Each structure stands twice: as structure tokens, then as C-alpha cells.
Amino acid sequence: MYSNYFGFSEMPFTIAPNPRYLYLSEQHREALASLLYGINCNGGFVLLTGDVGTGKTTVCRCLLEQLPEHTEVAVILNPKYSITELLEAICDELKIPRPHGGHRIKGYIDALNQHLLEAHGRGVNTVLIIDEAQNLGLDVLEQIRLLTNLETSSQKLLQIILIGQPELLATLGRAELRQLDQRITARYHLRALSRAELPTYVGHRLAVGGRDAPLFSRAALRRLYRLTGGVPRMINVICDRALLGAYVERRHRVNWWLLNRAAREVRGEFVASGPARSRWHWALPAMAALLVLLGGFLVPGGRELLALMRPAPDPLVLEVPPVAAPEAPPAPAVLELPPSGQLQPSPSPSGPAQWQWPQGTDLAATEVLAYRRLFRQWGLDFDPQQAPVLCRFARLHGLDCLQLPANLDELIGFNLPAVIRLHNANGQRFHATLVGIDQQAGQATLEVAGETRAVALDELRSWMDDTQLLLWRLPPGYQEPLRPESSSPVVQWLATRLAQLQGRALPRVLQQRYDESLQLQVLAFQHQYQLATDAVLGPQTLIRLSSLTETGIPLLTAAEADWE
């Protein structure tokens, strides 16, 4: 319902275990590596446990996509079976004909053994995956252990992966199952996301769904962690409901109270509906505003409270104040700075602490001017009155937005112009465009309120806030982050840029598969430039690679690749 409104190519917070949406946090990468290691250990059990909703099944689906080619898999999703029913389900998954005769358990085991021997003779490995394994009875678990006795003189014929909730750990710890527990060759326990991982997880889901721009305020993300404890499934459910609420109310961003209301609806708590809700939904905020307005005359700080109640504007939807005539541009804010005469190409540096505005100046105009300057760096004339959703305007011209908490050193690493937010000694907050870096001189060049200013890098670090936005050029055919073994037109662009960076001959054969050779090169590149080493070709890796190899894009400073 809200996909078109926000520009998604698909729903970003579905709870279906889609491997494309797997957020490879450090522990998820370790879990996947543990499973792959266990499968290559020639028999035995591999164990993956975790609390409800932590992503066990999604990791399993991702594992299935990375299994070797000569592998057949039987997946049991609902193991509330008796011994006979489980053996029957395994045979059905492996397409083994059902045996005839009176002793059904022996018949199934004999048929399974014969099938495994034939598969082994063809060089095929067989893997049995049992999800929700905490529902298995003790007698069924013991029978599963006996299946690992199916073997040749040198090799086990069946690899078994058990996936379950923490109760499975307690079950396997029982004395009567110690033989099974001793056969577990690899085990991993998934936990919920940490507070620091949650914003990245939400941003990842949005990016895979087709939007790189943040749609949740910081306060909303903090509240989301408190409500979910970092459990991915609950995060998905609440975020989905919150985006639906934002769509219904025609908002461009989810703030704290909208997310809180979505959480109450998900939990089934009472939310008034119908005409009564419609009246009070608008009446209560109006009454509160009136009380605080009166408080401005009765108690100290009343006016400040009223200001705090106003919702912060979405930084990606620019609100331009009305002007006297349609053709008149928005009036720039005026800096109170000593007259500098004719600005030179390298003006003498000054500090943001001393950049002051008269009281009452609408500093929102600095944001409009900063984004217009940023688009001019890319050769585009951006009019926020005609295109208030700036990231949508960027995508129409082959660009995209990347907004993230980034310090100055990270921005220098991206090497692209950016809109940054600053504050001065009086606490006034304003926007500027970072357009140049001179590392040798130790200074940056900014444009703020229409004036070019130089500032020492150390000064800029002290007075720069931590939310920045830059534009980057989309490679041909790029739709979403590129994952290992997937296919995309971006692969050819990637192979060409890596060859260019390494000084090799450009590839002659067109390719669209992101194969192991390219993955290793991307991992080396990510390690070299201190990026997340996950082999996923997402915006940050693409930006670094593009800034080192592309021509015709604006750079903060001329950069030379240092490839090893």
C-alpha cells in the first residue's frame, strides 16, 4: 500500500525469510560461517539456536543459496512428527519411493540408506535441515542420531543441521541425549541486534527495498530498540506498521510518536478509532499547544516548550518559505562576519564558532541553499519548490542520496561533496556545503549562505554535527546491494573498475555473475579502505570505488588509489 508513496520496489519489512534481506551483522556472518564449516566436516550435527525472531530461518535460507552445486537438501519445517512420520517426510523431500512391507521404520531407513549410497556414488552430498527442532521428542532425536550411523568405511552419508530456539539447548543437555550432543561438530547461538546495530539494520532493509534515504528519526530508532530489544522480527512488524501510518497521514518520515502508536497497534493495545478518535486526535495537540502558549506568559521557559513541541522537518523534504513573488529566490541568511573584500580562491580560514546570525534569522534557508549548491556540483539546477523530495529528484538524474552519521574523516574518505550541519558558539545550527579539502594546508572549503569560506579541519571537526548527506552516481543497472553469486548488469561495471584500479587489462568477456573471483577482489578492496568486509556491493563500497576510478564526478580532493 505504501510502496509507491515512499518509492519502494518491494515491501522492505516483510517477515518472510528472504535471504536478500539478510543483514549480515558480525554475529550473522559468524553463524553462516559456522554452518558452512560444519557442513564440510564430513558428518555429524550442526546446531544453530537463537531466540524467537532473531533470524535463524533467514540465515538457513542464505546457507541454502551457498551450498556446493553437488548437494541435495531435505528441509523439514514443522517437525512435530512421530519417528515414522519424520522418516516419511525425509523420504518425501529426497523423492525416495515409500517402501512396502509391515515394518515401516526399517523400510524407510533401508530405502534412505540405499539412496544415500547411490548419491555418494554420483559425488552428491546429502544435507538434512530440521527447523524448529526444539519441538522434536526425545525418541525422535535419538532416531535422528542413529541416521548419522549411515556411512561408508570413510565418510558419513548424511549431514544434519538442527535449528531451534534456546529450549533445544536444554533438551540436548539431558543425560539421555549426551551421545547426540557429543556429535555436534559446530554450533552457534544467535542473539538480538545491539543498540548500535539497529539503525544499520533498518537502513539495510530500506536500501534493499529501494530507498537509501532514512525514513525513521533518531528518536524513533531509539524508541524502536527499547520496544523490541533488537529482535529483528519485532523490528520488521513495527516498522511496517509505522510506515503504513506515515502513508495514511501523508508524512515523509516516521517520528517517535508515530512509531510508538504503531507498536501499540501491533501489540493489540487499545487505540481509539472512528469519529471519536478523529476529534480527539486533533483536539488534544491543539489544547496542549494552547496551554504551553499561555505558559509562555505565565512561567519561564513556556515559549521554549512550545518550540520543542513542533515536529522537526524531514531533512530530505525541504520546506521553502513563501516569497513575495513566484520568481523571487528564497532570501539567504546573512552572516555577521568581518568584511573580507573580494573572496580569493583560497580565503583565509575562520572558525564556525564565530559565524553568527542576527536573532530571529530563519536558518532553514541555509539548508535550501546548501542542497542547491550540492546539486550544482553535479551540474544540476535543483529547485526545491518544484521538487521538494530531493532524493527522488536525484534518482531522476542518475544519482542517489547517502545520509548517515559520519564524521569528517569518513566524509574525506568518500571524497565527494556533502551537505553538513554545523553549530556556532551561540548554539545556532545551520547547513553548509563541503566542496573541497586541502590535506596539506589542513583546511576545508565550505559554501555557507552563499559565501565561500575556508575553515581549519580541526575547527570543522569541533563544530560539525554528525548527520551528513552526499550524492553519488548510480552505476548502470544498479537497483539494490549486490550479493555474492547474484547476477546483475553492475557486475560488468565492477569488473571494469577493479581492473582499472589494479592496472590490469580491461575484461573482454561480458559477465553478469558476481562470482568468487570478484568477491575476493571486493573483500580485499573493502579491507584496504576500512569498509565492512562482507563482499556485499552496497552504496559505501560503490562510492569509494567510483571516486577512485570514475571521471566527470566532483571530488573534494584529487585522490590516488593505493591498491595492494
- 166 shares its domain with 222: no
- Cα distances (angstroms) measured from residue 143 to each of 78, 102, 163, 271, 447: 17, 19, 17, 50, 72
Within a domain: residue 102? Answer: yes
Average pLDDT over residues 519-529: 83
- Phi then psi for residue 500, to 5 deg, are -65, -45
Cα 304–Cα 308–Cα 309 angle in degrees, nearest 5: 120
Q: Which three three-digit cell numbers place residue 531? A: 569498509
- Find out whether 160 and 45 touch, Cβ atoms under 8 Å: yes
Report whether pLDDT(304) > 60. Answer: no
Mean pLDDT along residues 326-353: 46
Q: Which amino acid is at 87?
A: L
pLDDT in tens, 540-560: 899 999 989 988 899 998 754
CATH number at residue 380: 3.90.70.10
Average pLDDT over residues 302-308: 33
The whole-angstrom separation of Cα 412 and Cα 289 is: 43
Q: Which of 470, 443, 468 has its CA nearest to residue 457?
A: 443
All cell numbers assigned to 135: 519441538
Domain boundary among 143, 172, 190: 190
Q: 404 and 267 in one domain?
A: no
Q: Do the domain assignments include residue 564? A: no
Which has the closest alpha carbon to 24: 406, 524, 544, 523?
A: 523
CATH code: domain of residue 517 = 1.10.101
Q: Residue holding cell 501510518? A: 245
pLDDT at residue 187 greater than cutoff 70:
yes
**Per-residue pLDDT reduced to its tens digit, 151-178:** 776 778 888 899 998 898 888 888 888 8
Place of cell 525469510: 17
In the chain, the percentage of residues whose pLDDT exceeds 70 is: 82
Question: Alpha helices, DSSP H only, in 193-313?
Answer: 197-209, 218-228, 232-248, 256-266, 274-298, 302-309
Are residues 113 and 131 part of one domain?
A: yes
Mean pLDDT score of the chain: 79
212 and 277 co-located in one domain? yes
43, 171: one domain: yes
SS (H, E, C) 349-364: CCCHHHCECCCCCCCH
Give the confidence band of 515 by pLDDT, cuts at 50, 70, 90: confident
pLDDT, residue 39, reads: 73
The Cα 306–Cα 323 span in angstroms is 26
In the prediction, which pLDDT does 447 show? 93
The per-residue pLDDT for 101 is: 61
Higher pLDDT pick, 44 / 130: 130
Residue 505 to residues 298, 500, 501, Cα–Cα distance (Å) = 76, 7, 10
| Tally of CA atoms within 13 A in the half-sphere of 128 that contains its CB | 27
pLDDT in the model for residue 371: 93
pLDDT at 345 over 70: no
Provide, rounded to the nearest whole percent, the portion of the chain with pLDDT above 90: 19
Residues 294 and 364 in one domain: no
**Does 543 fall in a domain?**
yes
Asked, for residue 485, whether it belongs to a domain, the answer is no
Question: How many domains does the structure of the chain reveal?
Answer: 4
Same domain, 366 and 511: no
Looking at residue 536, its pLDDT comes to: 86
Q: How does pLDDT run across 221-264, given as a tens digit for each residue?
A: 999 999 999 998 899 999 999 999 888 888 888 988 899 999 98
DSSP letter string over 68-101? -SSEEEEEES-----HHHHHHHHHHHTTPPPP-S
- 442 Ramachandran zone, left/alpha/beta (phi>0; psi -120 to 50): left
Q: Residue written as cell 547476477?
A: 487
Whether 91 and 158 map to the same domain: the answer is: yes
In a domain, 47, yes or no: yes
Q: Is residue 360 part of a domain?
A: yes
Residues 205 and 183 reside in one and the same domain? no
Rounded CA separation 288/306 (Å): 9
Establish if 330 belongs to a structural domain. no
Cell of 340: 573580507
User: What does the pLDDT read at residue 317?
Assistant: 53
In whole angstroms, what separates CA 365 from the centre of its chain? 31
442, 473, 504 - which closes a domain: 473
CATH of the domain at 177: 3.40.50.300
CB atoms within 10 A of CB 336: 10
Q: What is the C-alpha to C-alpha distance for residues 468 and 460, in angstroms, rounded to an integer?
A: 13
Please say whether the beta carbons of 467 and 403 come within 8 A.
yes
pTM for the full model? 0.47
**560, part of any domain:** no
Is the per-residue pLDDT at 191 higher than 70?
A: yes
Helix %, strand %, coil % of the chain (to 5): 45, 15, 40
Same domain for 300 and 233: yes
> Nearest 5°: phi and psi at 230?
85, 10
Task: Say whether both 465 and 359 belong to one domain.
Answer: yes
Domain co-membership, 156 together with 81: yes
Q: Indicate which CATH number applies to the domain containing 269.
A: 1.10.8.60
Q: How far apart are CA 349 and CA 56, in angstroms?
A: 54
For the chain, how many residues are written? 564
Distance of CA 264 to the CA centre of its chain: 25
pLDDT, greater one: 385 or 554: 554
Range 373-382 average pLDDT: 94
Chosen domain end from 253, 280, 309? 309
Range of the domain at 235: 195-309
